[in-house]
């Protein structure tokens, strides 16, 4: 598409998607005006209470490579080769994520990654980033987007067309469009909340094996921990809001200590001042956001969490938001107008983001519960063997999502359910895995994948 240099694109929110998108659009010669509600993170300490580190995987990496900034991102990454599962007795079992050495995911700090994306975007002469500017909503009928300067308190408007709203899960732009009946929104809240806790280094060494994502699965709840570059770990407790046990039942230091002693005895000594951290750190809520439409003509588009926030259990929200940026850029090569590009974007992305939303919810059950099940562990090892024998047809669903960006999320979901049926069939044989049958079922039901 031919971009008009006199028509800057507004980006609302300089979070992970907004900053990357600014960079990608500027690289194609587009003038970009980014407005962010928070102060400039290059000058201020990072915000507390938002997820501190995130898992970055192949879809996100593809977008960062496309933007030409992987060299700057790489020093921020810690590879995680598998899940380290902690049982109640403190025994740890490692389940590798994939079979190849490059099948790893990476822990990355949200604040340093966001700061680096902003720095890179700001280097472009075509990008203007204004901080302390809170968007108050979009008005397509008047073709304006409204802002408040958080320092002066002054209100002002910008021309709306075109605006891309990357203002996150609680998007004000989305809410304003819903209020004006351009779209409807359904927020599907989980009845489990989360709290982040820090595991500092022990004698300047990481408290846990830094090569893995640690999980303490306990059936109806779980603790996870990801490594940070300063040798600390950030743990997250996912637990029901009410009932027993729940965040409501962990109401005093004694209850918190007893709960951790009972459920996570090997993690408790690694968390000094657990009750203090518990009281000081906010409890976060989790939701899947379903939005009936992501756009108004060629005027405004929702992207990233603003369009399709998901629960974090597949570690894909940021990856999907980065993939959004990559897809939009591909569509700009073909589209004739913003309206066409926004329409194509929604048509292509919606089934895929719906698929990852579903898989993310399913993964919560897998992480906190099914990983403990003997049948699950058995089928996982059959799946790995099938992948070794039939690598162009059978790839475990987790690997399709995390390591194969060339397979769209919706296709990973579809093939994953066919594979699950095959695994169930093979696992029901009393005499071990019948690989001749496996070959027959796979060639009948799973067409060969196109080379990556």
Ligand X SMILES: Cc1cc2nc3c(=O)[nH]c(=O)nc-3n(C[C@H](O)[C@H](O)[C@H](O)COP(=O)(O)OP(=O)(O)OC[C@H]3O[C@@H](n4cnc5c(N)ncnc54)[C@H](O)[C@@H]3O)c2cc1C
Nearer to ligand X, 304 or 405 (CB): 304
Output the smallest distance, CB 318 to ligand X, in A.
3
Of 393, 385, 378, nearest to 428 by C-alpha is 378
Which residue is nearest to ligand X, using beta carbons?
A: 15
Strand ranges for 121-162 from DSSP E: 127-130, 133-139, 144-149, 155-159
CA dist 61 and 285 (Å) reads 27
Binding mask 9-28 for ligand X (x = CB under 6 A): ---xxxxxxx----------
Nearer to ligand X, 17 or 78 (CB): 17
Question: Which region, judged by CB under 6 A, interacts with ligand X, from 69-77, 248-256, 298-306, 441-449?
Answer: 298-306
**What is the size of the binding site for ligand X (CB under 6 A)?**
33
Assess 61 for contact with ligand X (CB under 6 A): no
Question: Which region, judged by CB under 6 A, interacts with ligand X, from 242-250, 271-279, 308-316, 389-397?
Answer: 308-316
User: Which position among 10, 25, 26, 36 is part of the footprint of ligand X (CB under 6 A)?
Assistant: 36
Nearer to ligand X, 27 or 175 (CB): 175
CA dist 388 and 395 (Å) reads 9
Assess 166 for contact with ligand X (CB under 6 A): yes
Nearer to ligand X, 37 or 86 (CB): 37
Of 84, 91, 61, nearest to 206 by C-alpha is 84
Q: H or E stretch including 175?
A: helix 172-179
Output the smallest distance, CB 163 to ligand X, in A.
11
Question: Which region, judged by CB under 6 A, interacts with ligand X, from 3-11, 91-99, 315-323, 332-340?
Answer: 315-323
Q: What are phi and psi of 117, to 5 degrees?
A: -65, -40
Assess 267 for contact with ligand X (CB under 6 A): no
Assess 64 for contact with ligand X (CB under 6 A): no
Token readout for 348 is 């292509």
Assess 103 for contact with ligand X (CB under 6 A): no
DSSP-assigned states of every residue in 92-107: EEEEES-SSTT--EEE
Q: Give the distance between the most distant pair of CA atoms in the chain.
A: 75
User: Which position among 78, 104, 135, 212 is part of the footprint of ligand X (CB under 6 A)?
Assistant: 135
Binding mask 181-220 for ligand X (x = CB under 6 A): -------------x--------------------------
Q: What are phi and psi of 202, to 5 degrees?
A: -105, 120
Assess 51 for contact with ligand X (CB under 6 A): yes
**How many CA atoms, within 13 angstroms, populate the side-chain half-sphere of residue 272?**
5
Output the smallest distance, CB 317 to ligand X, in A.
2
- Residues recorded for the chain: 452
79 DSSP β-pair partners: 106
Token readout for 164 is 């891309």
SS (H, E, C) 330-360: HHHHHCCCHHHHHHHHHHHHHHHHHHHHHHH
Assess 304 for contact with ligand X (CB under 6 A): yes
Nearer to ligand X, 54 or 441 (CB): 54
Question: Which region, judged by CB under 6 A, interacts with ligand X, from 6-14, 261-269, 423-431, 443-451?
Answer: 6-14
User: Which position among 22, 31, 54, 158 is part of the footprint of ligand X (CB under 6 A)?
Assistant: 54
Q: How far is CA 227 from CA 78, 85, 124, 205, in A?
A: 7, 15, 32, 12
Where on the chain is the footprint of ligand X (CB under 6 A)? 12-18, 35-38, 51, 54-55, 134-135, 166-168, 172, 194, 236, 284, 304-306, 312, 315-319, 321
């Amino acid at each position: 598409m031919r971009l008009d240099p006199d028509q800057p694109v507004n980006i609302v929110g300089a979070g992970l998607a907004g900053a990357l998108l600014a960079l990608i659009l500027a690289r194609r010669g587009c003038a970009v005006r980014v407005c962010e509600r928070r102060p400039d993170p290059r000058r201020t300490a990072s915000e507390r209470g938002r997820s501190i580190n995130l898992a970055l995987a192949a879809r996100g990496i593809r977008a960062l490579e496309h933007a030409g900034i992987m060299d700057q991102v790489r020093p921020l990454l810690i590879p995680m080769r598998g899940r380290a599962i902690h049982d109640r007795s403190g025994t740890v079992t490692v389940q590798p994520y994939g079979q190849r050495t490059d099948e790893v995911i990476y822990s990355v700090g949200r604040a340093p990654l966001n700061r680096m994306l902003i720095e890179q975007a700001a280097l472009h002469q075509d990008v203007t980033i204004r901080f302390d500017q809170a968007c108050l909503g979009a008005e397509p009928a008047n073709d304006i987007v409204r802002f408040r300067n958080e320092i002066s308190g002054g209100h002002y408007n910008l021309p709306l067309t075109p605006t891309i709203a990357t203002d996150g899960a609680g998007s004000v732009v989305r809410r304003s469009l819903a209020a004006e009946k351009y779209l409807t929104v359904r927020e599907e809240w989980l009845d489990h909340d989360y709290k982040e806790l820090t595991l500092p280094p022990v004698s300047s060494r990481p408290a846990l094996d830094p090569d893995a994502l640690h999980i303490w699965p306990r059936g109806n709840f779980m603790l996870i921990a990801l490594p940070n570059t300063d040798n600390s770990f950030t743990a997250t407790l996912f637990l029901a809001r009410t009932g027993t046990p729940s965040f409501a039942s962990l109401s005093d230091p004694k209850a918190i200590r007893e709960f951790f002693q009972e459920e996570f005895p090997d993690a408790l000594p690694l968390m000094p001042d657990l009750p203090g951290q518990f009281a000081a750190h906010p409890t976060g809520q989790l939701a899947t956001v379903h939005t009936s439409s992501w756009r108004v003509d060629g005027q405004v588009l929702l992207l990233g969490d603003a369009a399709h926030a998901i629960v974090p259990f597949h570690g894909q929200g940021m990856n999907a938001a980065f993939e959004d940026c990559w897809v939009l850029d591909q569509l700009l090569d073909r589209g004739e107008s913003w309206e066409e590009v926004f329409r194509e974007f929604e048509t292509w992305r919606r089934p895929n983001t719906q698929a990852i939303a579903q898989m993310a919810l399913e993964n919560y059950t897998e992480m906190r519960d099914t990983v403990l099940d003997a049948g699950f562990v058995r089928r996982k090892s059959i799946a790995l063997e099938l992948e070794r024998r039939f690598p162009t047809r059978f790839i475990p669903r987790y690997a399709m999502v995390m390591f194969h960006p060339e397979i769209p999320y919706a296709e990973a979901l579809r093939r994953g359910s066919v594979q699950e049926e095959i695994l169930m069939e093979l696992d029901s044989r009393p005499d071990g895995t019948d690989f001749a049958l496996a070959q027959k079922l796979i060639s009948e039901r799973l067409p060969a994948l196109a080379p990556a």
